[in-house]
Every structure is written in C-alpha cells, then in structure tokens.
Amino acid sequence: MSTIWIGFFLAIIVLLVVARKALSLSLFLGSLVLGVTTVGGGDTLESLLGTVTNPSYLWFSFALGLFPILGALLKEIGAFDDLIQNLRLGKKTFLAFSAALIGLLPVPGGALISAPIIKKVAGSIQKEKAFLINIWFRHVLILVYPIGPALLIPVKIANLNVYDVIPYLFPFFLALIALGYIFLLRGIEEDMEYEGKAAPRKLIMPIFIILLPLLIDYGIKRVMTVEPADMVLFFAVLSSTLLAMLVGKVSLKKARSIAISSKFWKFILIMMTMFMFIDVFSISGVGGLISQLDVPAVVLCVLIGFLLAFVTGRTQLSASVVIPAYLATTSLESMPLMVFATTFVGIFLGYLISPLHPCISVSLEYFEVKLDNAIKTMAPETMIALAITAMVFMIST
C-alpha cells in the first residue's frame, strides 16, 4: 500500500480519536500526521506556516469568532425571546423554519447564528438532536440554492447549467426534508407557550441584526473588490455585534464579560486548524490517488464523492476530483443531468456531516456535543439518503 494511503488513514484515525477530547487539537495533529507521512516534515511545516500567516484565513477565523459573541449578545438583550414570542409557530415548525431561514444567509459558519435560537427552543430535547436539527435544516436548502458556490462550482466543473440541474435535485431536496422530519422532528411535542398577543414589530430589530452581516457582506462585494474578501465578513459581523450592543445598551464592561463567556477563542482555533488540515491535504497527493482508482461509476461518483467531502469538508474539492475523473473515463464533455444530481447529492451528504465543515465544527463546540456522538446521531438519516442516492444513480445509468 502506498505510504500516502497509510498516512491518510492514520490521519483520519487521529482526527476521529482525538476529536473526542478536543476538535482543534485533533485537526492539528491530523495535519501533522498526514503531512509528515506524505510530503515530509519540511513541506508540512511550510504548509502550516502558510496557513497561520494567510490573511484570508485569519480574517475568516476572527469573523467566525465573532459569531458566538453576537449570539450571546442577542440572547442577553432578549432578541431571541422576541423572535420566539412573536413568530407564533409550533415547536417543530419553528425549529426547522428558524434554521432554514438563517440557512439562506450565505455566511460561512452561519449555523452559529441559528444555534442559540435552536438551543433555547429545544429545551429538554437531547442536545445531539438539537445540534443536528440546526445542521440538517440549515443546509438542506443549499442543495437547490442556485447562487451558492457549493452548487455553482460543481455545476461549472460538470459543464452544465445550474437551472437545468435544479429540477433533478429537487426530489432529493424533498427527500432530505422528509428524512429530517422522520428522524429529528417527529415525536417532538408542540409545547410552545406564548403570553399575550403577538407584536410583529418586535421582530424587525432581531431579524435586522441577524441579516445585517449578509447585507453588508453581499452589498460591499457587489460594488467593489476587497482583498482579502473575508475582511469584509469580519467587519460585517462586527457591525452587527456593535448594533446589538447599542440596541441593548450593553456597556463595554458587560460586553467583555459576555464575550469571555462565549469562549470565542475556541471557534477561532477550530477554524485555523481546519484550514491547516485542508492545506496539507491539498499537497498530500491523496486527491490524485483517488482520481486514479479503477472502480464502478457509482463508487467513484457517489461513495468516493461522499467520503472525500467528509474528510475535507468541501463540496468543491470533492467535485474537482470525482467529476473530472468521471468525464475522463466516459469521454464525455459534460455530465448527464441525473448523474450529476446523484453525484452532487453524495458529495453534499459527506459535506453535511463532515467535522471539517465549519458549521459542524463550531456547532459541536456550541452544543457541547462530542464528535463520535454527533456522527452516531447523524448516521441513520445520512446513510439512508446515501443509499437512495446510490440506487438512483445505478438505475439512471
């Protein structure tokens, strides 16, 4: 067996074992193991130094570090109470809707915005289930979101039009909603209690504060080019944080206490070590070996696509390996639409539950859920969805 494969499997073992204690430490050690066993210590050190000095990574990580502070502030000033009290939805609907609504925000790691709302409404619901409700319903819309990079980039690699693809993805979208209801929402009691009449005007400020990072980030990037682009995200989230302080009349001393209680530094460390692993993976040669495997099309496109997305947390990286490999073996210029749809769903499912997916990694910390427990909770519906996808692939080809 190639030393690259050995290093890759050792790194995954380290990642899964050490993550039970500390996710950021597992990512760092996994990066070291993968790098040293594939490209050597010198190149590994160079890659790690490049990661920690990359301005884009730093701005992105610090922006993610602001999200738990913003969530803690919104809770402190009663914004979440206003949302819950005045939306007037049943518990099941509220849990799914709030996660999906915020899921429309194309903000990396944005699950930290919906997490405090889900956690508050979930009440006595098992924390692993609350964690997965937040992840599952936040991301299911990505499957058919025509302007999101998670879908747009794989579509481009496959030489297709995104609007031609969406009708083929829509049945899978409905299937994921159904699985989410069966495994996550069914059986939850509709015990939402409201006092007095709803006051819709009280929804305006909380929703505006939540949407402000999107408005600033999207607006600025539409009218000008800023390098690094993630600097815009940082100041967008900072603006929302400062607005929450102003609206709630939170003093700097109180804000400092809230920030410390949010343990924001843990999220920054998780993001930086996640980037370390991804950068080392990109130079390790694992992706090239995967693309050279002589396996059936369903294994390459659906199963390897799933596994590669799981170990990288990136739909684009997985798509850039399996889609060109499929096109090369079939001598096609573009992927058949159903083949692409099933391939992307397989990749999406791996991305959805990957510990290197920013929303997963930071949500594990927020909900205080261990990685192995999270995987056990996510496995049934994910494996059913993957099996359905593989079956449709084989039938359609």
Direct distance between the N- and C-terminal alpha carbons of the chain, in angstroms, rounded to an integer: 32
Provide mean pLDDT across the span 264-292: 82
Q: In Å, what is the CA distance from 144 to each residue of 173, 310, 315, 338, 341? A: 7, 20, 14, 14, 10
Query: Model confidence at 342, in pLDDT bands (50, 70, 90)?
Result: very high
What confidence score (pLDDT) does residue 396 get? 87
Look at the pTM and tell me if it is higher than 0.75.
no
| Distance from C-alpha of 171 to C-alpha of 242, rounded to nearest angstrom | 42
- 304 pLDDT higher than 70: yes
C-alpha torsion sign, points 349, 351, 354, 357: negative
- Tens-digit pLDDT profile for residues 46-84: 999 999 999 988 998 898 788 888 878 887 888 877 776
- 397 pLDDT higher than 90: no
| Distance from C-alpha of 187 to C-alpha of 239, rounded to nearest angstrom | 40
- Least confidently predicted of 106-115, 147-156, 289-298, 365-374: 106-115
Residue with tokens 């994910």: 382
The larger pLDDT score, comparing residue 188 to residue 247, is at 247
- Count CB neighbours of 54 within 10 A: 17
- Tens-digit pLDDT profile for residues 360-391: 877 888 888 888 888 888 889 999 999 999 99
- 119 pLDDT higher than 90: no
Percent of the chain with pLDDT over 90: 26
- Tens-digit pLDDT profile for residues 120-145: 777 778 888 888 888 888 888 778 87
Token pair recorded at residue 122 = 């979930």
Token pair recorded at residue 255 = 């804000």
The set of residues, in sequence order, having a beta carbon less than 8 Å from that of 342 and lying 6+ positions away, is 301, 302, 389, 390, 392, 393, 396
- Tens-digit pLDDT profile for residues 204-244: 888 888 778 878 877 887 788 888 878 988 898 899 999 99
Which of 136-174 are b and which e, b meaning 16 or more Cβ less than 10 Å from the residue's Cβ? bbbbbbbbbbeebebbebbbebbebebeebbebbeebbe
- Least confidently predicted of 20-34, 188-202, 354-368: 188-202
Q: What is the mean pLDDT of the chain?
A: 84
What confidence score (pLDDT) does residue 106 get? 47
What confidence score (pLDDT) does residue 293 get? 75
The set of residues, in sequence order, having a beta carbon less than 8 Å from that of 295 and lying 6+ positions away, is 304
Nearest CA-CA partner of 51 in 283, 230, 277: 277
- Count CB neighbours of 64 within 10 A: 29
Per residue, the 3-state secondary structure of 290-321, as one string, reads HHCCCCCHHHHHHHHHHHHHHHHCCHHHHHHH
